[in-house]
A and B are shown apart, each in its own frame.
Chain A
Amino acid sequence: MSQPSKIKVLTNGILNENPVLRLVLGTCPTLAVTTMASNGIGMGLAATFVLLCSNVVISALRNIIPNQVRIPCFITVIAGFVSVVQMVVKAFVPSLDSALGVYLPLIVVNCIILGRAEAFASKNGVVDSALDGIGMGIGFTCTLTIMGTIREILGSGTWMAGLDGLLPFLPDGFAIRVIPESIDPFTIMTSAPGGFFVFGIMMAAATWLTSRPKKGAAEPAEGGNAQ
């Protein structure tokens, strides 16, 4: 049995198996919190932390947890770490807590985390699981940030508004204005339909990026089925 290299495990989650765009997991927080890029970063980091910790713990316990009750055990481990994140965010980043609202406790039922616990951590070693958690987390965070960027720039004309809550050294009311205030922003982008729309476009873009033939690589043997 050939072991996949550590780098491969780490980078897998970023594009090829991007949890949101390729595996279509964790769509609810993706759509809900990406009205601003900074919320996307916050949500991504919170989920990454939970993903990393739960992957490590579940992979360490994988030989102890009986197979029949594994799902409740996984959920309990995940819920524990989510409560930790909830308390930390409430205490240190209150602005993020109010921006994410109910979606913060809902990380528990984020299918990325349970999905990776079931599909990867319960079958692989601790180190690989940690790398997988970090990779998937980075993929999730990047997707959320990009999506938040698109929606925020089009929908309110600013970029990274609210980042001062995450990084305390930034001045209050920090925001980079991309589109001048004299132009009316495209507010539909920050509300529900815009979320679905941007998500659809991004998923199409990811499909296009991963399915187009590589430059300089040999033509696919089947011949042009990727078109």
Chain B
Amino acid sequence: MIKQLAVIFFTMILVDNYVLSKFLGICPFLGVSKKLDSAVGMSLAVVFVMVMATAATWPIQTFLLDPNGMGYLQTIVFILIIAILVQLLENFLKKFIPALYRSLGVYLPLITTNCTILGVTILNIDNEYNFIESIVCAAGAGLGFLVAMVLFSGVRRRVEQARPPECFKGLPITLVAAAMTSLSFMGFGGIVDAIFG
């Protein structure tokens, strides 16, 4: 059981990294990775919301939608839950943990339209994970997002000092750099099986 959870966890971080191999959450990946501290802030908010959203959507899908044959409402219900959750979280943090709100607050509204969150909740259902596996998978996916953001913000600092051709300036060269980062993550393929298998 523990081994299986560890496999899911590390697979989500290294092998199936949501940003670099599944292309989820590319918008914040390109938009917020310019500075290290904002990259970390955004990623921590994502980890938090991802776990909360999974904890909320999994029981709703399993105990409410599936028994009543309303699986087709999944998309609408999930996105509304995520939107409400983000709003609640924002109000909660503002009132009770103002320090955390100041560091994460600006990123929270962006998270509703971050496809990693909706992606992980739907994929957990599609993969037929149980509740604990889903939570572990969400935590792993969030940490994978953090790893990718932090690594890439370092890559970006180097790229910005380079002088590419005029039409490559800005995003195009950043994307080419992302291709290299993603190539390096391909090297992790099989590592989890080799360790735990």
Contacts and interface: CB of A to CB of B under 8 A. Distances in A.
Interface in A176-202: 188, 191-197, 199-201
Nearest to A105: B75
A86 B79 CA distance: 15
Nearest to B22: A32
Contact of B123 (A25, A80, A102, A195): A102
A207 B30 CA distance: 17
A71 B119 CA distance: 20
A220 to B, nearest CB: 15
Contacts of A32: 22-24
B118 interface: yes
A138 interface: no
A163 interface: no
Interface string B100-135: 000000000000111100110011001000000000
Interface stretch (B1-9, B46-54, B174-182): B174-182
Contacts, number: 122
B19 to A, nearest CB: 9
Interface in B129-183: 165-168, 171-176, 178-180, 182-183
Interface string B52-79: 0000000000000000000011111001
A193 B27 contact: no
A75 B175 contact: no
A194 B183 CA distance: 9
Contact of A79 (B23, B30, B76, B172): B76
Interface of B: 20-27, 30, 72-76, 79-80, 83, 112-115, 118-119, 122-123, 126, 165-168, 171-176, 178-180, 182-183, 185-186
